[in-house]
Structure 1
Amino acid sequence: MQFGGILLATAILWAHVLPGESVTGGKEAVAHSRPYMASVQLNGKHECGAFLIASQWLLSATHCFMDGAEGLTMTTKETFKLSADRLYKYPGFNIDNYDNDISLIKLDRPVVESAEMKPVSYQQTGGADPVVGATVEAAGWGALNNLGSRPDKLHEVTIGVMSRDLCGRNAYYGSKFTNNMICAARPLQDTCNGDSGGPLLYNGVAIGITSNGGKKCGASKKPGLYSLISHYSDWIQQTMTANA
C-alpha cells in the first residue's frame, strides 16, 4: 500500500478498538501532500490514525490505545521501521463521552525528516479556534461510507465548523459535548470509522484530533467530534520536554 506519510503497524493483539471516525464524502489525497499522517494498524489492517508533531512524537486519540501501544512499529514507504518507545495518555479520558481523547506516542528514535515525512504545526494554548462556518480539513484511511468500505490510499475531506450551541443541544450530543471539543461536518461529508486519531486542520495547522461521532457517518445531527489541541498544548510540551 502507498500512503502520503507514515505507516504504523502493531505486532501484537490489541483490545478491541472503540468506534471512531473515517472520511466519507471526500476524495483521495495527492501523494505525499500530508507527510505527517500515520496509520495505526493491527496485523496489517488499518485501525486508527495518528500524526507527526515532532521528529520523535506522534499525536493520536486515547480510545485507539485502550490496551497500550506495546509492539507499535512504523514503516515508511521505503520500509524504514521504528518502534514506539512509550505511550502517554492525557489523564482523565472519559470513555462515556470521549472527553480528553488525546495521547502522545514517543518513537524509539527520531524520524529522518523529508518532503515525504515531516511534522505538522499544532495549535498552542490561547490560539483562536476557527469560527462557525470556517473551512477545516480532515484526512484518514477510514471508511468511505456506512457500509464500511475502506480505501487503500489516504483520503481527505473539507468540512465546516459547526455552532457549539447546536452541537450541545439534546438532539445532537447534549451534555456529552464538552468545552474540550469542536464539531465539524457538512451534508454527507464527515469523518468516519477508522479516522480517529488523525488531525483536524485549519489553515494548515492541526487544531483538533478526530475523536468520535454518530453511529452513521454523515448523519445531520451527529457531526464529527474533535479534541481541541490548544487545551492540551501545555501538557504536550511538558510531556515531550520531560521525556526527551
Structure 2
Amino acid sequence: MSLVKLCLFVFCVCAIQCGESKYSPQFEKNGVNADFRIIGGKPAKAGEFRGQVSLQNRFYAHICAGTLIDPFHIVTAAHCHQRQKPIGYVMGDDLTVTLHGNETRQRRKIVHFVPHPEFSRETFQNDIAVIRVDEPFKVTETFGPMHRSNSTPTKGIRCTVVGWGYTSNSEDSDISYNLLKTDVFVIDINFCNSSFSYEGAMKPGMFCAGRTKGGGHDACQGDSGGLLTCAPRTLSGVISFGNECGLPNFPGIYSDVSMYKDWIDKILITKDLPEYEFSPFPKPHLVYEMNKGNSAATSSVTTAVAILSVILAILSH
C-alpha cells in the first residue's frame, strides 16, 4: 500500500510541474527577455564564486540565482519573485543543482523577500531585491558572503558572469546542472542605449556587459538574479535582462549593486520586514489566478491540485 501511495504522490507532483506556464517577462518594443542562462561558459571550480546560490521552488528545482552577502541575506533580482514560479528555498555551497547534490550542500527557507520599492516590471529599472532566510548559512572553505562593489564597473573592464541557466538560444536547450562561468566586458552605456542596441531601454542603476562584435558569451534563462563579478570575491552586478542570449550588439544588462548600497544596508538592519508567503503546495484559488487567461494550464493545474488534496488525505491516514 505504501508503494501505491508513493506512486500516486509522484504522479501528482509531475502533474503540477507540467501544468506550470513558462514565465518570460519581455519588453514588447525591444524584445527584451529577462530569463537568463550562461552562453559560452566553462565549468566553475568549488569556492571560485563562493557567494553564488540557487533560488528554488517547492520541489527544490532551480528557478533563479542570487549572491550571499552575509549569513542571513542574499541579493537577487526583483523579477525573480514570480507568482507563476514561486521560490521558497535558497541552496548554497554546491556547484550542482541536481536533486541530490554534494554533502556540502546547505539549504535555507526564505522568510522575507524584499524587492526594491521602485522596481518596474515594464522597464526593469531597480531590478534588485534582498532575501532573508530562516537560519544563517554556515561559512565554509568553499562558501560564504561576498563583498559588494562600492563603484560602477568602468568601461572595458573584464568581468565574469556565472550561473546554472540554459547554454544556448535553442528551444531544445535546458539548464546546466553544473555551475558555469564566462568572461564579458563592460560596454559603454551610450552604445547600449543607441539605435544599434537597446534604443534607450537602459535606465539609471543599470550597466551593460558582454561582447558586442561576436557575441556568444552571455547570461540567459535560469541565471537571473545571479552574480557578475569584476573583482575578487566582489558582487558588482545582478543579472537582470537582455535581448535573447549572446547576440552581437546586445550585451547583457545588469543592476549596478553600488547604486543600491544605502537601500541594501537599510534592509539588513531592519528587524520587522514583510512576511513572505510561501507554501510547499499552492492554494487552489491562487493556482486559478496565476493561470487565468490560459484555460489549458488552468485545467491541468487545478486538476492536479485537486488530486493532490486527495493524495495528502490518504497519506495522512
TM-score normalised to the size of structure 2? 0.67
> Is residue 49 of structure 2 the alignment partner of residue 34 of structure 1?
yes
Distance in 2, matches of 1:241 and 1:200, equals 25
2:117 corresponds to: 91
Runs of 4+ in 1 over 3 A off after TM superposition: 12-19, 68-71, 74-81
In the aligned structure 2, how far is the partner of 1:170 from the partner of 1:71? 36
What secondary structure sits across from 1:21 in the alignment?
coil
How far is 1:68 from its partner?
9.7
Name the stretch that deviates more: 136-145 or 70-79: 70-79
Letter in 2 for 1:40: L
CA contact (8 A) 2:237 2:256 kept: yes
Q: Counterparts of 2:204 and 2:112 in 1: how far apart (Å)?
A: 28
Which amino acid in 1 is paired with 2:68? L
Q: 1:9 matched to which residue of 2? A: none
1:118 to 124, 139, 144: 144
Secondary structure class of the residue paired with 1:184: strand
Structure with the higher strand share, 1 or 2: 1
Structure 1 position 16, deviation (Å): 5.2
For the structure 1 residues 20 and 182, does the alpha-carbon distance in structure 2 shift closer, same or farther, using more than 3 Å as the test?
Answer: same
Are 1:173 and 1:222, in contact at CA under 8 Å, matched by a contact in 2?
yes
Deviations 1:80-137 (A, max 9, x none): 432111111101111122111001000112111111220110123xx2x222211011
From 135, 139, 142, the equivalent of 1:109 is: 135
SS in 2 for 1:165: helix
The answer to whether the Cα contact below 8 Å between 2:56 and 2:87 also exists between their aligned partners in 1 is no
Contact 2:126 2:255 in 1 (8 A): yes
Alignment equivalent of 1:60, drawn from 64, 72, 76: 76
Once residues 145 and 83 of structure 2 are traced to their aligned partners in structure 1, the CA distance between those partners, rounded to angstroms, is 26
Q: Which amino acid aligns with 2:197?
A: Y
Give the aligned partner of residue 231 of structure 1: 259
Q: Which amino acid aligns with 1:36?
A: G
Mapped partners of 1:228, 1:75: distance in 2: 24
Offset from partner CA, 1:26-73 (integer Å, 9 cap, x none): 101012322211112233432211110111000110111033997612
> 1:75/1:227 Cα in 2 relative to 1: closer, same or farther (>3 Å)?
closer
Q: Which amino acid aligns with 1:64?
A: C
Q: Is the 8 A contact 2:166 2:221 kept in 1?
A: yes
Any idea what the Cα deviations from partners look like across 1:11-35, whole Å, max 9, x if unmatched? x988854342111011010123222
Please tell me whether the aligned partners of residues 50 and 199 of structure 1 are also in contact (alpha carbons under 8 angstroms): yes
Give me the CA root mean square deviation.
2.2
Q: Which runs of 5+ in 2 are unaligned?
A: 1-15, 25-33, 93-101, 273-317
Q: Corresponding residue for 1:154?
A: 179
Q: What's the TM-score once normalised by structure 1's chain length?
A: 0.86
Structure 1: how far apart are the matches of 2:132 and 2:71? Answer: 9
Cα distance, 1:89–1:38 mapped onto 2, change above 3 Å = same
Verify the 8 A CA contact 1:49 1:140 in the aligned structure 2.
yes
Determine if contact 2:35/2:223 at 8 Å carries over to the other structure. yes
Look up the equivalent residue of 2:243 and give its one-letter code.
G
Which of 107, 112, 134 is the matching residue for 2:157? 134
Worse overlay, 147-156 or 77-86: 77-86
Counterparts of 1:80 and 1:182, CA distance in 2: 32
2:189 maps to amino acid: R
5+ long unaligned stretches in structure 1: 1-11
Q: Which residue, 239, 251, 269 being the options, matches 1:210?
A: 239
Tell me what 2:37 maps to: 22
Q: Does the 8 A contact of 2:56 with 2:91 survive in 1?
A: no
Q: Determine which of 182, 197, 207 is the counterpart of 2:225.
A: 197
Are 2:77 and 2:129, in contact at CA under 8 Å, matched by a contact in 1? yes
Question: For 1:232, what is the secondary structure of its paired residue?
Answer: helix
Query: In structure 1, the residue corresponding to 2:155 is in which secondary structure?
Result: coil
CA–CA distance in 1 between the matches of 2:206 and 2:254? 5
Cα distance between partner residues in 2 of 1:158 and 1:80: 27
Q: State the identity as a percent.
A: 27
Aligned residues: 229
> Per-residue displacement from partner, 1:161-214 (whole Å, max 9, x unpaired)?
111110011331122111211101122111111111001111122111000011
